[in-house]
Amino acid sequence: MWHQNVTSVPGWTPLRVNYYTSAVATDERIAEIEKEISEVQIEKEGENPCQICPRVFKRPKQANKTKIVDISIAIDALRHSYHGHVEAILLLSGDGDYLPLIKEVMRSGTQLWLGAFSDGLNAALPPAVDRFTDLDRWFYLGDRKS
């Protein structure tokens, strides 16, 4: 999200950036990770910088895959969409599990923009959103075949 190839997209300015992740760590380390993430500023030329709001969830074991990140993204997207807090949501993921969320957010009248890499992209996602961006062209710059 904070890469210059994303922040320089014309026509939009992020108001809030939530960064969701999980870690196997102590409570103290989770707090340190949150602090490190929150210190990253997203800057767009001619605009005020935007701080990243970390959402770091504690995982009990390295082997456990947690769904708390996916659930939290869904809750936040639905809440902001239903309350009219946002005009558009930019989701950076190619995970097909987000298709029901995408459809519901769009039903509420909120635009949904999706950015994803081709590797692992669920084919049902690009035609389901208001705007799709293939991140390969922004990050691989010809180093990778599409």
Please report, as a single letter, which amino acid is at residue 41.
Answer: Q
Per-residue confidence band for 146, with pLDDT thresholds at 50, 70 and 90: very low
- pLDDT per residue as tens digits for the range 101-140: 999 999 999 999 999 999 989 999 999 999 998 888 877 7
The pLDDT of residue 145: 46
Task: Tell me which CATH homologous superfamily contains domain 67-146.
Answer: 5'-nuclease (3.40.50.1010)
The set of residues, in sequence order, having a beta carbon less than 8 Å from that of 109 and lying 6+ positions away, is: 81
3-state secondary structure 91-111: EECCCHHHHHHHHHHHHCCCE
Per-residue confidence band for 16, with pLDDT thresholds at 50, 70 and 90: confident
What are the sequence ranges of the domains in the chain? Answer: 1-62, 67-146
Tell me the whole-structure pTM to 2 decimals.
0.76
Mean pLDDT of the chain: 85
- Measured CA to CA, the distance from residue 129 to residue 105 in angstroms comes to 10
- pLDDT per residue as tens digits for the range 44-100: 777 777 788 899 999 887 666 668 889 999 999 999 999 998 899 999 999 999 999
Q: Which two tokens stand for residue 128?
A: 């389901």
Distance from chain centroid for Cα 60: 24
